[in-house]
C-alpha cells in the first residue's frame, strides 16, 4: 500500500494546472472526446499541434498515426490536462475540461503509456492500486480480460509475485498488459494507449491486440500505434504530420485515398498497391 500511495503521489503531482474556481466534478461520463480547433506549443517554441479538431464518440476507437515527434503523445497528454492548449477547446462529454476538477477528469482516463512502470509490490497490487477495495476476484477478472492471467499463473508466486526494481522483471508486452488490466479494473470511460514501440514481436503484439479487443466497444480508446495492424479496426484513424491532421478516415478509406497512410501501410506490410491486401 505504501508503494501504491507513492505511485498516486506521482500521478497526482501538482503541476501549474489548477482547478478553476467553479470547477465541477465530472460524473456519469460516457466518454465522448472532442478537440475543437486545438493548437498547442511547449513554451514559446514552435507550435506542436495546429488547429486539431475531431470527435470521438463513446466506445469508439480513435487511432493516431504519424512519424516520430509529430505530437501524438502530446495530443493525448492534453486530454488528461497535463498541458493546456494554446487555443481551442477540449471537451469530454461536452464539458470543457478546463471547467471540471482535474481529479475527476483524470479518474475518467486510464493511460496505458509508452513506458508504463511497475512499482515494487506484488502483481495484484500493481493491477489494483487505483481501486483500493478491489477483491482478488475483480483483479483476476481484469487480468483475464487483459490477457495476462495465464502469464501471471506461470510466475513463481502467481498474483503474489513481487515485481518492480527488486522483483521479477516482466517483458514490455507483459507490463503493457498489466497496465491494460489496471485500466479495465478502474472502469474509466476513456483509455489512452501509447504503444511502446514498433519493435514488439508478433506474438506480443497479438497478445496486446487481444487485450485491447476485450475493451473495444465498451470504452473510448485513443490509441497511438506504430504497427498499423493494431489499429486496422479503429473507427477513425487520424494521420498527424507536422502537427496537423492530414488524413482522417477508416483504414479502408485511407487506403483508398492513397496518401501517407496507404504508403505507411504498404511499407509495413509489403502490400499490394491497389488493394491494400498483403501480397
Nearest residue to the partner Mg ion, using Cβ = 73
Minimum CB distance to ligand ATP smaller for 69 or for 217: 69
Task: Report helix, strand or coil for 212.
Answer: helix
In whole angstroms, the minimum distance from the beta carbon of 156 to Mg ion comes to 34
Which of 2, 18, 68, 94 binds ligand ATP (CB under 6 A)? It is 68
Size of the site for ligand ATP (CB under 6 A): 9
Binding piece for Mg ion, criterion CB under 5 A, among 19-27, 31-39, 71-79, 245-253: 71-79
104 part of the interface to Mg ion, by CB under 5 A: no
Minimum CB distance to Mg ion smaller for 82 or for 273: 82
Which of 31, 71, 85, 111 binds ligand ATP (CB under 6 A)? It is 71
Element (H, E) at 240: strand 236-241
Q: CB of 124 within 8 A of CB of 62? A: no
The three three-digit cell numbers of residue 172, written as one number? 514490455
72 part of the interface to ligand ATP, by CB under 6 A: yes
Q: How far apart are CA 218 and CA 73, in angstroms?
A: 23
Minimum CB distance to ligand ATP smaller for 40 or for 159: 40
Minimum CB distance to ligand ATP smaller for 181 or for 225: 225
In whole angstroms, the minimum distance from the beta carbon of 50 to ligand ATP comes to 12
Minimum CB distance to Mg ion smaller for 110 or for 147: 110
Q: How far apart are CA 204 and CA 180, in angstroms?
A: 14
Task: Report helix, strand or coil for 210.
Answer: helix
Binding piece for ligand ATP, criterion CB under 6 A, among 70-78, 142-150, 198-206, 247-255: 70-78
User: For the chain, how far is it from start to end, CA to CA, in angstroms?
Assistant: 52
Cross-strand pairs, 82: none
In whole angstroms, the minimum distance from the beta carbon of 79 to ligand ATP comes to 12
Minimum CB distance to ligand ATP smaller for 74 or for 176: 74
Contacts of 254 (CB under 8 A, 6+ apart): 237, 239, 247, 261, 262, 265
Q: Given CA atoms 236, 241, 246, 251 in this order, what sign does their dihedral have?
A: negative
Which of 30, 41, 73, 244 binds Mg ion (CB under 5 A)? It is 73
Q: What is the dihedral of CA 88, 94, 98, 99, to 10 degrees?
A: 140
Residues 74-103 that bind ligand ATP (CB under 6 A): 74
Biggest CA pair distance of the chain: 59
Minimum CB distance to ligand ATP smaller for 67 or for 258: 67
Q: What is the dihedral of CA 100, 106, 109, 113, to 10 degrees?
A: 140
77 part of the interface to Mg ion, by CB under 5 A: no
In whole angstroms, the minimum distance from the beta carbon of 194 to Mg ion comes to 6
Residue written as grid cell 503493457: 176
Provide the binding-site residues for Mg ion, judged by CB under 5 A: 73
Provide the binding-site residues for ligand ATP, judged by CB under 6 A: 42, 48, 68-74
Amino acid at each position: 500500500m505504501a508503494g501504491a500511495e507513492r505511485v498516486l503521489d506521482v500521478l497526482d503531482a501538482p503541476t501549474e494546472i489548477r482547478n478553476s474556481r467553479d470547477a465541477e466534478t465530472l460524473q456519469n461520463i460516457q466518454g465522448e472526446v472532442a478537440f475543437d480547433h486545438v493548437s498547442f506549443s511547449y513554451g514559446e517554441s514552435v507550435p506542436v499541434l495546429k488547429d486539431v479538431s475531431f470527435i470521438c464518440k463513446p466506445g469508439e476507437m480513435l487511432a493516431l498515426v504519424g512519424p516520430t515527434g509529430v505530437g501524438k503523445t502530446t495530443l493525448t497528454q492534453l486530454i488528461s490536462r497535463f498541458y493546456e492548449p494554446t487555443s481551442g477547446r477540449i471537451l469530454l462529454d461536452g464539458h470543457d475540461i478546463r471547467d471540471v476538477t482535474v481529479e475527476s477528469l483524470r479518474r475518467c482516463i486510464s493511460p496505458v503509456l509508452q513506458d508504463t512502470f511497475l512499482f515494487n509490490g506484488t502483481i495484484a497490487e500493481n493491477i489494483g492500486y487505483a481501486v483500493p477495495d478491489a477483491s482478488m476476484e475483480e483483479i483476476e477478472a481484469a487480468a483475464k480480460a487483459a490477457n495476462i492471467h495465464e502469464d501471471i499463473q506461470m510466475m513463481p508466486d502467481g498474483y503474489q509475485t513481487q515485481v518492480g526494481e527488486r522483483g521479477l522483471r516482466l517483458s514490455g508486452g507483459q507490463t503493457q498488459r498489466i497496465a491494460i488490466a489496471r485500466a479495465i479494473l478502474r472502469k474509466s470511460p476513456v483509455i489512452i494507449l501509447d504503444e511502446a514501440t514498433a519493435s514488439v514481436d508478433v506474438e506480443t503484439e497479438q497478445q496486446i491486440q487481444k487485450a485491447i479487443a476485450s475493451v473495444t466497444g465498451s470504452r473510448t480508446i485513443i490509441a497511438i500505434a506504430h504497427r498499423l495492424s493494431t489499429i486496422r479496426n479503429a473507427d477513425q484513424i487520424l494521420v498527424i504530420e507536422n502537427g496537423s491532421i492530414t488524413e482522417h478516415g477508416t483504414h479502408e478509406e485511407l487506403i483508398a485515398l492513397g496518401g501517407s497512410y496507404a504508403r505507411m501501410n504498404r511499407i509495413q506490410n509489403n502490400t499490394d498497391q491497389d488493394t491494400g491486401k498483403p501480397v
